[in-house]
Amino acid sequence: MNYFNTTNEKNNLEKYQRKAKSQDDIIINFFKLHPDKAISPDYVLDELGLDCPITSVRRSISNLTKQGKLVKTDRKVMGNYGRLTNTWKYAK
């Protein structure tokens, strides 16, 4: 599941599901372009210029990790909010 309907949306549910799927596709393709680089959600958001909250990027990365497409690394980097954040790599 790409979109988590936590607000019990009915009218725009399909639209939101398509948008979440599209974000997943964009993000996995970004990781494929940088297969050996440990990448944080903040970096993905900044580099791709996505018009979405950081939580959407994190949702996508979590989903892609559960699907076996990304792997979480042991490396942490400074995030946009002055705290260390985890990184992920493309699962070859």
Q: Is residue 34 part of a domain?
A: yes
Residue range of the domain that includes 52: 13-90
In what helix (H) or strand (E) does residue 87 lie, and over which residues does it extend? strand 84-90
- Residue percentage of the chain with pLDDT more than 70: 77
**Region 21-39: what's the mean pLDDT?**
91
Q: What is the pLDDT of residues 50-84, one digit of tens each?
A: 888 999 999 999 999 999 999 999 999 999 889 99
User: In angstroms, rounded to a whole number, what is the distance separating the alpha carbons of residues 46 and 42?
Assistant: 6
pLDDT at 23: 86
Residue 24 has pLDDT above 80, yes or no: yes
- Residue that has been written with the tokens 């990790």 in this structure: 65
User: In angstroms, rounded to a whole number, what is the distance separating the alpha carbons of residues 73 and 87?
Assistant: 6
Q: Is residue 50 part of a domain?
A: yes
List the beta bridge partners of residue 85: 77
List the CATH number of the domain containing 56.
1.10.10.10
Residue that wins the pLDDT comparison between 49 and 1: 49
The predicted model scores a pTM of: 0.78
Q: Is residue 18 part of a domain?
A: yes
Classify burial at 82, counting beta carbons within 10 Å of its beta carbon; exposed 0-12, middle 13-18, buried 19 or more: exposed
Q: Is residue 6 part of a domain?
A: no
Q: Is residue 46 part of a domain?
A: yes
Q: Is residue 63 part of a domain?
A: yes
Q: Is residue 7 part of a domain?
A: no
How many domains does the chain fold into? 1
Residue that wins the pLDDT comparison between 18 and 35: 35
Q: Is residue 82 part of a domain?
A: yes
